[in-house]
Structure 1
Amino acid sequence: MLTAERRQYILNMLHRDGKIVARRLSEELGLSEDTIRRDLRDLAEDGKLVRVHGGALPSSPATANFTARQEQAPQAKEAIAQAAAAMVRAGQVIFLDGGTTNLLVAQHLMPDLQVTVITNSPPVAVALAEHPRADVLLLGGQLLKHSIVTVGTATLEAISMVRADLYFLGICSLHPDMGISTNHLEEAYLKRAMVERSAEVIALVSPEKLNTASSYRIGPLTELSEIITEREVAEELLAPYRNLGITVTRV
Structure 2
Amino acid sequence: MERKKEQRQAELYRILLNQGKTKVRDLAMQLQVTPETVRSDLSDMVNQRKIIREHGYARPISSVAEVPFRMREMENLQEKRRIGFRALHEVKPNQTVFLDAGSTSVLGLPALARNANITIVTNNIPLAYEAGLLGFQVMVCSGALSNVGLRTYGVISSEILRDLTIDCAILGCDGIDCAKNFTTLAFNEVGIKRVVLSRSKRNIVMMDQTKFESSASFNFASFKEIDCLVTCALRPEQREKLKMIPEIIEV
Scaled by the length of structure 2, the TM-score of the pair is 0.72
Alignment RMSD (CA, Å): 2.6
1:111 Cα shift? 2.1
Deviates more, 1:195-204 or 1:99-108: 99-108
Contact 1:96 1:169 in 2 (8 A): yes
Residues 63-212 of structure 1 aligned to structure 2 (within 5 Å): 63-132=66-135, 134-177=136-179, 179-212=181-214
Max Rg structure: 1
Deviations 1:159-203 (A, max 9, x none): 100111110011111234151211121101111111111111111
Would the alpha carbon gap of residues 211 and 193 (structure 1) be closer, same or farther in structure 2, given more than 3 Å must change?
A: farther
Q: d(CA) in 2 for partners of 1:196 and 1:74?
A: 30
Would the alpha carbon gap of residues 123 and 245 (structure 1) be closer, same or farther in structure 2, given more than 3 Å must change?
A: closer
SS at match of 1:83: helix
% of aligned pairs identical? 22
Aligned length: 198
Match of residue 218, structure 2, among 213, 216, 231 = 216
Corresponding residue of 2:246:
246
1:235 Cα shift? 2.5
User: Does residue 1:236 correspond to 2:247, yes or no?
Assistant: no
Structure 2's unaligned 5+ residue stretches are: 1-20, 27-58
Give the aligned residue type for 2:247. Answer: T
Give the aligned residue type for 1:247. Answer: E
1:211 Cα shift? 4.8
Give the aligned residue type for 1:149. Answer: R
Contact 1:92 1:165 in 2 (8 A): yes
Deviations 1:199-240 (A, max 9, x none): 111111011112531111213221111111112x31211212
Q: d(CA) in 2 for partners of 1:178 and 1:237?
A: 12
Deviations 1:114-142 (A, max 9, x none): 1011000111110111233x221001011
Deviations 1:82-124 (A, max 9, x none): 1112111111111101111011122432222210110001111
Contact 1:176 1:211 in 2 (8 A): no
SS at match of 1:136: strand
SS at match of 1:125: helix
